[in-house]
Amino acid sequence: MANSSRTTGHTGAGAAVVDRASGRTSGRASGFAPNGVQITSATRTDVGLKRAVNEDSVLAKWPVFLVADGMGGHDAGDRASAAVIAEFRALVGRELQVADVADALDRAHSAVQAIAATAARGAGSTLTGVVQIEHEGQPHWLVLNIGDSRVYRLLGSEFEQLTTDHSLVQEMLDSGTLAPENVHTFGYRNVITRAIGSGGSSDNPADFWLHPVVNGERLLVCSDGLSNELGGNGIGVGLGLGYRAKQTANLLLRRALENGGRDNVSLIVVDVLGGGAEPVLETYGSLDIIGEPASVLGAASNSFASEANCA
């Protein structure tokens, strides 16, 4: 991929609106990062239709875009996810290296362990997202994940899930003991195998991937409250309709709630507008959903388009 030129600029300030009664938070940001990458983002988090408390926490300020999904019930889950995000707030507005992210993750483990020690049901949290860092003089996304929240990427017609779930379902899929068509009826689909606060970083390590920042790419960071309701196919269609980040975030949240809203729903849509590497696309044409039947796309596209007209 081509190297990008670097310019100076300003960091887009995020504007968040919180509705305490509904458990909803929305926000958006746009602008040039100090390294010249131009990004726009939109954030949504909602308590859903079945839960009394929103146990998700979200951070979407350059260069950190993260979603944490807390566990531990009404008395601890929301505090656990908030504690995780709090440890990463110190990274906002800074040019970062991998070590900065690893140190914040270690602090997050300790913070959640302290909460778990005082909670009757213990406490833990997932964490997933992307952090923009400098690698070999060029901007890259450091993708990180622990638990079953997810990061997806759309570039042109190429759609992929960048993270791998730490869950019983994923382990059984990998071993061939659970068929993909049986996932939605599997009784232990919410069991995760790694979490922040369950032991230390060495016992529950996060997975990391490094990707160049690429012009035109769209990233989605989300909790399982979104991915469980829409699936990879629905998410890919929603991201690929061509709407702006804010409209897309509104649309995905609305569809998750219409599909049941059984869990808290949190998501961040991040669009790279410029300042990254130029894309090298290997496939063109209709959206290629990795591992999903392409025949489903027609009906799903029509349904999403109808919803977007109301967004």
Question: Mean pLDDT over residues 12-40, rounded?
Answer: 64
In a domain, 11, yes or no: no
The CATH number assigned to the domain holding 268 equals: 3.60.40.10
Looking at per-residue pLDDT, the higher value among 48 and 293 belongs to 48
Question: Which structural domain, as residue segments, surrounds residue 31?
Answer: 21-308
- The pLDDT score that the predictor gives to residue 54 is 96
- Both tokens of 63, joined, read 């260069």
Span of 249-253, 262-266, 278-282, 302-306 with lowest mean pLDDT: 302-306
Q: By the 8 A CB rule, do 235 and 249 touch?
A: no
Instruction: Give the residue among 115, 84, 111, 77 at the shortest CA–CA distance from 263.
Output: 77
Helix locations, the chain, DSSP H = 77-88, 98-116, 168-175, 224-239, 245-258, 297-308
Interior CA angle at 260 toward 247 and 256, to 5°?
20
pLDDT classification of 50: cutoffs 50, 70, 90: very high
Q: By the 8 A CB rule, do 261 and 229 touch?
A: yes
Cβ neighbours of residue 148 closer than 8 Å, sequence gap 6 or more: 69, 126, 165, 166, 167, 170, 192, 224
pLDDT 10s digits, 235-248? 999 999 999 999 99
Question: Mean pLDDT over residues 39-57, rounded?
Answer: 97
Span of 103-107, 168-172, 272-276 with lowest mean pLDDT: 168-172
In a domain, 5, yes or no: no
CA–CA distance, 175 with 177 (Å, rounded to integer): 6
Question: Mean pLDDT over residues 214-237, rounded?
Answer: 97
In a domain, 4, yes or no: no
- Kindly give the interhelix angle for 245-258 and 224-239, rounded to the nearest 10 degrees: 130
In a domain, 6, yes or no: no
Beta pairing, strands 127-135 & 288-289? unpaired
- The pLDDT score that the predictor gives to residue 296 is 30
Question: Mean pLDDT over residues 223-230, rounded?
Answer: 96
In a domain, 168, yes or no: yes
In a domain, 7, yes or no: no
pLDDT 10s digits, 188-213? 888 999 999 876 666 778 999 999 99
pLDDT classification of 116: cutoffs 50, 70, 90: very high
In a domain, 9, yes or no: no
> For residue 69, is pLDDT > 50?
yes
> For residue 181, is pLDDT > 80?
yes
Looking at per-residue pLDDT, the higher value among 73 and 138 belongs to 138
In a domain, 134, yes or no: yes
CA–CA distance, 55 with 70 (Å, rounded to integer): 5
pLDDT classification of 254: cutoffs 50, 70, 90: very high
Looking at per-residue pLDDT, the higher value among 16 and 271 belongs to 271
Question: Mean pLDDT over residues 20-33, rounded?
Answer: 65
Q: Alpha carbon 265 to chain centroid distance?
A: 11
> For residue 29, is pLDDT > 80?
no
**Exposed e or buried b per residue across 213-246, where buried means at least 16 C-beta atoms within 10 angstroms of its C-beta:** bbbebbbbbbbbbbbbbbbbbbbbbbbbeebebb
Looking at per-residue pLDDT, the higher value among 293 and 103 belongs to 103
Average pLDDT score, the chain: 83
- The pLDDT score that the predictor gives to residue 220 is 98
Number of domains in the chain: 1
- The pLDDT score that the predictor gives to residue 8 is 25
CA–CA distance, 59 with 40 (Å, rounded to integer): 14
Question: Mean pLDDT over residues 271-287, rounded?
Answer: 73
